[in-house]
Structure 1
Amino acid sequence: MDRPKSLSTESSSKFLCGKTVLVSGGGIAGLTFAVAIAQLFAHESSTAARPKVIIYERDSYENRIGREGYTLSLRTDNNPGAIQVLDLLDLYELVRSVSVHSGGLAEERGSFNIWDPQFRPFLRFTAQPVGPKMLRGMRIRRNALQKVLADAAVRSGAQILWETAVTGADSTEDGRMRVSLSTGLTAVGDMLIAADGSRSKLRSLLRPNDPLNYAGVYIWSGIAKFASRDDIPKPVDRDWGGVLGADGIGLFVAPVDDKSALWALSRQSPVVKESLRYPIPQGRLVELLEESMRLAENFAPLVKNLISATDPSTVIQLNAMDRPPFPHPSLEHRPVVWIGDANHAVSPFAGNGANMAIMDAWDLANALKKASTLEEAITAYDKVAVPRASSVLKFSRWTIDLLHATGVKLFLYKVVLRVLGFLTQTTPSHD
């Protein structure tokens, strides 16, 4: 009997057909990849020829889609951007239907802003529709996006094993990958996709010299809840963005839904701070909220309004962490590909993590479809993904510097922003 061929040596232009792809992580990147593979291979003449995708996710379905209610931006400023990818996957309209203020007019969907402490805008970006379908960027709750993608992945034929984490991985003699699971079982596939987030278990095991880097800033935030949208202080009822010029204290605000809004304060620190998440000890929670109210004195009264309406169960504190992207070495003996935060973690200041996860998943699936070998596919994928992630990381570090600037640096930033604000008044932005 012939020895099975590994993905890296297969010569057929359809080298992925009939193979099994294991995915560690059922987040945005892993789920999008499963949907993209199904879409790209949907027209194979034989169902058996289509790749089989198995996703392992440590959380339950209920926990995955029931938490992380903060919002994120889905954008159009790449070719394709996350919005265009969702359209290619026939998910754009479904995602838009569960986005923030999805039923309103275009102007009701809000804009991204950079404000001064009194919420006077230096810059205001209103996303313009792109392409013949007039696709628009949007804000959406992370858990709402997770649900759409998880349900779509199941419809696409992917197998999702919830409450099953990948705890180890090694290559087999025939060039495939074997994973150890939290259930005590093992599984073998033709390739392994590491999509298990910024604190990737697989990266810690297989690339132990690629840890996260502290970006020098820590963040604490909460979600303010109100009786109705009319009670949410303007402009946070529809607009989102960052505030600078408040004595080195950063602030980000955004609508979450028709009855709630997010606030996030940040400050620089030479050392990492404790990470906090519900349930937080009562004494520590009180300290955080009291400090938040004190720092709110640096901003317009609406910030105190948000903090005073905070649901205590939503308060978190975290450190801004990131790491630069890495290209993939030869995969001949270990066919493992890292995508999303597992490869190139970015801090919340990038405002782009979900977008890159979606774009990575699509670009990898597309490269796998077009290439004749795994090496060829990964070379094409890295050529797109690595420069993109490097650019986003630089932007994230610049944003941190901007929002926490003081003194002369702050003055210079204000001058530049006012000039840009004037220029953008007559130049529409795509995002």
Structure 2
Amino acid sequence: MDPPSTKVAPSHFLDGKTILVSGAGIAGLAFAVALAHQFAGETSTTRPRVIIFERDSYEERVGREGYTLSLRTEYNAGGGQILDRLGLYEQVRSVSVNAKEGAVEGGSFNVWHPDFRPFVRLAAQPIGPKRLVGMRIRRNALQKVLAHAAIDSGAEIHWQSAVASAKRIKDGRVEVSLDNGSIISGDILIAADGSRSKLGSLLRPNHDLDYAGVYCWSGIAKYASPEAIPKPVNRDWGVVVGAKDGLGGFFSPVDETSSLWCFSRRTSEPKEPLRYPIPQDRLDRLMEETTDAAASLAPLVKNLVSATNPDTVMQFNAMDRKPFSHSISTDGPSIYIGDANHAVSPFAGAGANLALMDAWDLAAAMKNCSSLGEAVKAYDALAVPRASKILKISHWTIDIVHATGIKLLLYTLILRVLGLFA
């Protein structure tokens, strides 16, 4: 009779490991929550330690960036489904722009004529047995939910601690230097530090952003009461197609008493980025340009412009970056997620969704694969094609919104047909 086997099952490759995350934005925070979710109830593996470094304070991170974004439920932009898997959907929904409305009646995406008659109106339709719907939400509201969820998951967040540099060390691990002089080592490094990734600029050649050919300027109109916000931008959001001289426009509710306007134009070269505080003479010229732009659209736009809080005005360029795959053997245990990998311009309307999906897919791959190399390969197989499709859609959207002449006629014909079936 053979003696009983004493063979010990191999441990998970993440057993007792330390994962360093640069950036407490949507991608970094969601990754921490997703990884904890993957290892919930696991008894045979010591859950990996997750340490997040964020250059801003907690108050700055959840208190700024009050503009809104879309959380969607489509195949390539399914942020809503990821939040549901994380157990955060209802909490996020409760602080969304359209929370007080019914699930279906809470606003819709539109493609508008310059007079705000809709070419196409796409109301959020419930998806799946849980009847999940897309929503608009302030970026800082989503950040706050994710930050608290990450802390509850056991992640350590070091606020006001920016990663200044990183390098691969002899044992195959990674070492990061913080801006306060501290040096921390870990087994895996997650770069979730945004489109202008510090780690990308340090560790990857040619990590620059590409100019998408359009510059934008925007502001937030503030009102004394919800009733004062002009309809339909008190509830609905969307783009204007067919404005004078190829002017683009995007409009969206921000909260119960605020709405955002954003104009855009094609240029061969990027414009000067401007944010608060903007020199008064430059702000005056920008608002003059805004007033001229509003004159070619419905009167409600002039209303929005006149109610704009000057502190919210900004000018920026639409930038993007093609997604890329990873090579652990060449580049070491450094993985880029969200905008640090595949930045998309605002015309994609999917940046937050991609960040959430990246976070979930990477965490799931890490749990289900037998090595980091295998996990990263599985992650890339999902993330790269998905982001590539979104990038193409964003360029197509830019082309439609700024079309003139014959191209505009063709696009408006297509939109009218789509409107019949929407």
TM-score w.r.t. structure 1 length? Answer: 0.94
Contact 2:119–2:415 (CA<8 Å) still a contact in 1? yes
Using the TM superposition, name which of 232-241 and 207-216 deviates more: 207-216
**Is the counterpart of residue 221 in structure 1 residue 221 in structure 2?**
no
User: How far does residue 309 in structure 1 lie from its aligned partner after superposition?
Assistant: 0.2
Q: 2:201, 2:107 → 1: CA distance?
A: 40
Report Cα offsets for 1:81-111 as digits up to 9, x if no partner: 2111111111111101100130222354100
Aligned to 1:87: 84
* Residue of structure 2 in register with 1:307 after alignment: 305
Aligned equivalents of 1:318 and 1:393: distance in 2? 18
Deviation at 1:42, TM superposition (A): 1.5
Whether contact under 8 Å (2:323, 2:342) holds in the other structure is yes
Contact 2:104 2:124 in 1 (8 A): no
Partner of 1:202 in structure 2? Answer: 199
Contact 2:18 2:186 in 1 (8 A): yes
Name which of 146, 168, 172 aligns with 2:143.
146
- Structure 2 residue identity aligned to 1:34: A
State the AA in 2 paired with 1:26.
A
The counterpart of 1:97, out of the listed 94, 99, 102, is 94
Mean CA deviation greater in 108-117 or 71-80 = 71-80
Alignment of 1:87-236 (within 5 A): 87-236=84-233
- Contact 2:216/2:262 (<8 A) preserved: yes
2:327 is aligned to 329
Which position in structure 2 is the counterpart of 1:408?
406
Higher relative contact order (CA 8 A, sep 6+): 1
Q: 3-state DSSP class of the match of 2:207?
A: coil
Judged with a 3 Å threshold, the aligned counterparts in structure 2 of structure 1 residues 333 and 195 are, in CA distance, closer, same or farther, namely: closer
Evaluate the alpha carbon distance shift between residue 81 and residue 44 of structure 1 in structure 2; reply closer, same or farther with a 3 A threshold.
Answer: same
Task: Check the 8 A contact 1:13/1:370 in 2, yes or no.
Answer: no
Provide, for residues 121-179 of structure 1, a one-character-per-residue CA deviation record: whole Å limited to 9, x for no partner: 11111111111111111110000000000011011100000001111111111100000
Aligned residue in 2 for 1:317: 315
In structure 2, the residue matched to 1:31 is 29
The C-alpha deviation readout for 1:299-342, integer Å capped at 9, x for no partner, is 00000000000001100100010010001123466100000000
CA distance 1:79–1:416, shift in 2 (3 Å):
closer
Partner of 1:428: none
| Residue aligned with 2:361, SS | helix
Shift of 1:80: 8.2
Aligned residues: 413
Distance of aligned partners of 1:130 and 1:217 in 2 relative to their CA distance in 1, 3 Å threshold:
same
Answer yes or no: is the 8 Å Cα contact 1:363–1:381 preserved in 2: yes
**Residues 300 and 401 from structure 1, CA distance in 2 versus in 1: closer, same or farther, beyond 3 angstroms?**
same
With over 3 angstroms needed to count, the CA separation of the structure-2 counterparts of 1:417 and 1:333, relative to structure 1, is closer
SS of corresponding position for 2:328: coil
Distance 1:71 1:388, change over 3 A: same
Say if 2:328 and 2:334, in contact at 8 Å, map to a contact too: no
Between the aligned partners of 1:227 and 1:355, the Cα distance in structure 2 is 32
Per the alignment, residue 351 of structure 2 pairs with: 353
Q: Which moved more, 1:273-282 or 1:78-87?
A: 78-87
Q: State which drifts further: 303-312 or 104-113.
A: 104-113
Question: 1:373–1:117: structure 2 CA closer, same or farther, 3 Å change rule?
Answer: same
Aligned to 1:5: none
Counterpart CA distance in 2 for 1:79 and 1:58 is 30
Contact 2:358–2:383 (Cα < 8 Å) also in 1:
yes
Q: CA–CA distance in 2 between the matches of 1:385 and 1:274?
A: 32
- Cα pair 1:241 1:254 within 8 Å, conserved: yes
Q: Which residue of 1 aligns with 2:6?
A: none
- Measure the CA separation in 1 of the matches of 2:295 and 2:49: 56
Contact 2:104 2:133 in 1 (8 A): no
Residue of structure 2 equivalent to 1:365? 363
Gaps of 5+ in 1: 1-10, 425-431
Contact 2:77/2:354 (<8 A) preserved: no
Residues 254-293 of structure 1 mapped to structure 2, 5 A cutoff: 254-293=252-291
CA–CA separation in structure 2 for the residues paired with 1:19 and 1:357: 23
SS in 2 for 1:320: strand
Residues 340-360 of structure 1 deviation map (CA, whole Å, 9 limit, x = unaligned): 000000011100000000000
Distance in 1 (CA, whole Å) between partners of 2:11 and 2:107 is: 46
Alpha-carbon shift at residue 17 of structure 1 (Å): 2.0
- State the Cα distance separating 1:75 from its structure 2 match: 0.6
CA contact 1:29–1:361 (8 Å) conserved in 2:
yes
Paired with 1:309 and 1:105, the residues of 2 have a C-alpha distance of 28
- Distance in 2 (CA, whole Å) between partners of 1:199 and 1:176 is 24
Question: Are the aligned partners of 2:173 and 2:185 in contact in 1 as well (CA < 8 Å)?
Answer: yes
2:254, 2:10 → 1: CA distance?
48
Whichever residue aligns with residue 376 of structure 1, its letter is E
How far is the alpha carbon of 1:268 from its aligned partner?
Answer: 0.6
User: Would the aligned equivalents of 1:242 and 1:251 in 2 still touch at CA under 8 Å?
Assistant: yes
Is the alpha carbon distance of 1:49 and 1:80 closer, same or farther for their aligned partners in structure 2, counting shifts above 3 Å? farther
Distance across 1 between alignment mates of 2:330 and 2:10: 16
The percentage of aligned residue pairs carrying the same residue is 65
Structure 1's consecutive aligned runs of 4 or more residues displaced over 4 angstroms after TM superposition are: none
Structure 1 contact 12–372 (Cα < 8 Å) conserved:
no
Q: Distance in 1 between matches of 2:92 and 2:345?
A: 24
Aligned counterpart in structure 2 of residue 421 of structure 1, from 406, 412, 419: 419
Structure 2: distance between partners of 1:151 and 1:326? 30
What residue identity is the alignment partner of 1:134? R
In 2, Cα distance between the equivalents of 1:228 and 1:143? 21
